[in-house]
Structure 1
Amino acid sequence: MTLTIRPAVPGDEAEILRLVQALADYEREPDAVKATAESLSATLFGEPARVWAHLAELDGKAVGLALWFLTYSTWTGKPTLYLEDLFVAESARGSGAGLALFRALAEAARGLGCGRIDWAVLDWNEKAKGFYSHIGAKPTTGWEAWRLEGEALDAL
């Protein structure tokens, strides 16, 4: 089997959406995906691009996705690569695809002058937390994730 990691390009939208839906299924939120191929195209490949993605392929078939964007840390004075989604299809877990995606992210972060990579993980996802610990990541403490959306966002 040949594993390759590459940046997403126009024409990958359907595969990206398929992997996003598979992630939602895995995260027990199968009806949560509102993204479309068109919305992915606009945000990934529009001018300006607002998010970026890398695909992991095994023998030419997309089996993994890392979707990310930039934020900023006033404390480091540098941009931060924020990993919105990392997903590897169950059939490809253990193939090295997750590690290869993280290596591609590390390379992108260094190339963009980022001070760090941040992401969130579901509290019940012990396999993911084990993988992240294995590559040297540590959970942050003292911070809670908060969100404003829907009616509350509209009202504000």
Structure 2
Amino acid sequence: MIRRARPADVDALTALVYELAEYEKARAECTVVPEQLHTALFGRDAAAFAHVAEDAQGTVVGMALWFRNFSTWDGVHGIYLEDLYVRPEHRGHGHGRALLAALARECVDRGYSRLSWSVLDWNTPSIGFYRSLGAVPQDEWTTFRLSGQALAALGGDQATSSASGA
């Protein structure tokens, strides 16, 4: 069963985020705590959303954590899937496909133009799965990220303040 996440799911979602970080060989970089996730998903200014997959006993076994983005070319929102994860012992039962189908349905129902996500280049099982759904890699794009000291340095740069117009 796929459904929207509820506040009672936050601990399970947090555990899944950590399992995903471990799978992606980046556990040391994962620092989220349940309170942060709760605020992001259910707080007054919530900007993130989640769907969960439950097994027959009602246990959360997978998640899709996402947020809205915007296409200036299309003039409408889309969904950016930040994390899709199904516990290994529950893979192959349709949970991942069902989670993606729920997000595709969100896009269709709301008039969003796209569902986008990133995948690590070494994650060939996931890449094959996404291709089987008709997803197309955006190989001509390179993802950039500012974080840590570089983000703080640029964010503190007075030359890039809003007064400069840049």
Please tell me the TM-score bracket, short chain as reference: over 0.9
Supply the distance in 2 between the matched residues of 1:85 and 1:109 (Cα, whole angstroms).
17
For 1:22, the equivalent position in structure 2 comes to 19
Paired position in structure 2 for 1:33: 30
The residue type paired with residue 132 of structure 1 is Y
Write the letter of the residue equivalent to 1:43.
A
Q: Distance between the aligned counterparts of 2:3 and 2:21, measured in 1?
A: 22
Structure 1 gap segments, 5+ residues each: none
Hey, what does 1:78 align to over in structure 2? 76
Partner of 1:127: 125
Q: Which runs of 5+ in 2 are unaligned?
A: 155-166
Partner of 1:11: helix, strand, or coil?
helix
Alpha-carbon separation, structure 1, partners of 2:21 and 2:94: 22
Question: If you compute each CA radius of gyration, which structure gives the higher value, 1 or 2?
Answer: 2
Match of 2:60 among 43, 53, 62: 62
CA distance in structure 1 between the aligned counterparts of 2:128 and 2:104, rounded to whole angstroms: 19
- The percent identity for this pair of structures is 45
Listed as ranges, the matches of 1:109-124 within 5 Å are 109-124=107-122
User: What TM-score does the superposition give when structure 2 sets the normalisation length?
Assistant: 0.90
Output the TM-score relative to the length of structure 1: 0.95
Comparing both structures, which one devotes a greater share of its residues to helix? 2
Matches within 5 A, 1:83-98: 83-98=81-96
Q: Distance in 1 between matches of 2:32 and 2:110?
A: 27
Query: C-alpha displacement at 1:111, in angstroms?
Result: 2.3
SS at match of 1:101: helix
1:8 aligns with 2:13: no
Match of 2:142 in 1: 144
- The structure whose RCO (Cα within 8 Å, separation 6+) is larger is 1
Runs of 4+ residues deviating >3 angstroms: none
- Aligned-pair RMSD on alpha carbons? 0.8
Q: Confirm or deny that 1:155 pairs with 2:153.
A: yes
Query: How much does 1:48 deviate?
Result: 2.5
Query: Going by fraction, where is strand more abundant, 1 or 2?
Result: 1
Instruction: Report deviation, 1:47.
Output: 1.5
CA distance in 1, matches of 2:122, 2:59: 29
